[in-house]
Structure 1
């Protein structure tokens, strides 16, 4: 019987070792997942904080744009504008909305519509207020005047893209 006893102890020890190893692997996997989740959460909080700060600075950018339109540009004002734009771009903020762009209701707010019977799609003809985004997050849409086909119901024409105007092959 003594021969069977060491074999049983070895089997029990091996089973206990496998159980503890499995427990350790589970705890390690849970900890790794926790670290990844905390890292993701920190990045999300950072992105939200940056977006909040940039959103709070939008009135400053509007004031700078108005000053740029109505005041003679002094070297000091040009330097301030350049530094501000560089720093905001470094945080990932991008301005959008230019004359001639195809109207995109996800990026633009049309404040005025000028009917044009020769137009095939809505086009931004004047930017009234620049839009801004941070990565994929919209901070503010661009306010624009659009020119495009008149709609039969009196509402501005449906936004279409230039590629929609092509004949099917």
Structure 2
């Protein structure tokens, strides 16, 4: 009988040690995943910080290209730099004619245009940049909206609001 009780104690101890080992193994796996995720995040943040510092240089290269000053050895260096930053994941965005999105565009100028149906980027003043889905710098743009009353002209007719709003520069809530 004492032998059976001793065997039960050993089995209980074995199952406790097995459960402890399984818990430790699960904790270690979680730790490894967390360290790998943090390592990737640190790498992405470091790349984004470096590339953010290079944006003024890329802007200067773009201006030189626009003015026909990107020639000779400077052209080769500029193209090499653009290739390197593209390999690091930097993507330029912002095109004329695309719909304005306040999440990725910063409107610096505003106008009305009869040929647009929604708020549209009509001029890219400074391109935006992103790495993956993370926006490093929004595109700085000039936007145009449809002419006031052009799409809803019939809805406000006869209210007298259109003329007073335009004379005062828009509706005044004050």
TM-score, normalising length: structure 2: 0.81
- CA distance 1:117–1:109, change in 2 (3 Å): same
The answer for the alignment partner of 2:92 in structure 1 is 95
Any idea what SS the aligned residue of 1:73 has? coil
- CA distance 1:125–1:39, change in 2 (3 Å): same
Deviation at 1:77, TM superposition (A): 2.8
The answer for the alignment partner of 2:144 in structure 1 is 147
The answer for the alignment partner of 1:29 in structure 2 is 26
The answer for the alignment partner of 1:159 in structure 2 is none
Q: Mind listing any 5+ residue stretches in structure 1 that lack a counterpart?
A: 156-169
Deviation at 1:109, TM superposition (A): 1.0
How many residues in Structure 1 have an aligned counterpart in Structure 2?
152
What is the RMSD of the two structures over their aligned residues, measured on CA atoms?
Answer: 1.7
Match of 2:110 among 101, 109, 113: 113
Q: Deviations over 1:51-104 (max 9, x none)?
A: 100101111111111111224332423322221121111111110001111111
Match of 1:56 among 32, 45, 53: 53
Deviation at 1:118, TM superposition (A): 4.5
Q: Mind listing any 5+ residue stretches in structure 2 that lack a counterpart?
A: 149-161
Match of 1:67 among 64, 84, 96: 64
Match of 1:11 among 8, 11, 18: 8
Distance in structure 2 (CA, Å) of the matches to 1:51 and 1:5: 69
Distance in structure 1 (CA, Å) of the matches to 2:41 and 2:118: 38
Distance in structure 2 (CA, Å) of the matches to 1:55 and 1:46: 14
Correspondence 1:41 to 2:38: yes
Give yes or no for contact 2:122–2:142 (8 Å, CA) kept in 1. Answer: yes
- CA distance 1:63–1:73, change in 2 (3 Å): closer
